[in-house]
Amino acid sequence: MKRNPLIIVFVAVIVAVMLYAGLHLARRSGTSGPTAGLKGQLAPDFELKSLDGKTVHLTDYRGKAVLLNFWATWCEPCKIEMPWFVELQKQYGPEGLQIVGVAMDDAAEQDIAKFAKEMGVNYTVLIGKEAVGQAYGGVQFLPETFFIDRSGKVIDSVFGLKSRSEIEGNVKRALGQGQQVQAQK
């Protein structure tokens, strides 16, 4: 069956116009992504298992600033930013920062643990669940990072790879905002 090249070109042009219109409308909306509605709200709590077998709730970190990062072992931009997170945890951990990585891929838990070890991860890594991703807007892009202040409110979120300086700026904002309270255990 021979296809008419004009039809293929026509379909390609229509798809390109739709993509352009979608991107243009997304930029004009003034939101930073599908979870812009979480900004200023309490971050959705969750219960996930850590690589060391502990049950972790986001509220366990109340009183600390949290960098909540959704990632996957296959995600190349995630591999770029993970060493930055290691450095930021070392630098700002004593000031009350807790980085929490949520692995959102289908890799086996032992593969995720091996990957985290190879990357030198010094922060909490949790095994993600679809329901948690949905609570944060569906986690449509990886990496997705949420900056949560000491009182548990989302102060910003970023999608995809951002500069280390932008990430660090949001960490500093999270550390400086929200009342400092004792972490609940």
The first and second tokens of residue 152, run together, are: 């548990």
State which fold the 35-176 domain adopts. Glutaredoxin (3.40.30)
Angle at 185 between CA 173 and CA 73, to 5 degrees: 60
pLDDT of amino acid 55: 96
- What secondary structure letter does DSSP report for 44? P
The phi and psi torsions of 50 (rounded to 5 degrees) equal: -85, 170
Domain spans, the chain: 1-30, 35-176
pTM: 0.76
Average pLDDT of the chain is 84
Q: Tens-of-pLDDT digits for all 185 residues of the chain?
A: 566 777 776 766 676 556 554 544 443 333 344 445 688 889 999 999 999 999 999 999 999 999 999 999 999 999 999 999 999 999 999 999 999 999 998 889 999 999 999 999 999 999 999 999 899 988 888 999 999 999 999 999 999 999 999 999 999 999 996 555 444 43
- Output the pLDDT for position 54: 94
Q: How far apart are alpha carbons 16 and 13 in whole angstroms?
A: 5
Distance CA 73, CA 23 (A): 28
Round to whole Å and give the CA distance between 70 and 158. Answer: 11
Per-residue confidence (pLDDT) for residue 137, from 0 to 100: 86
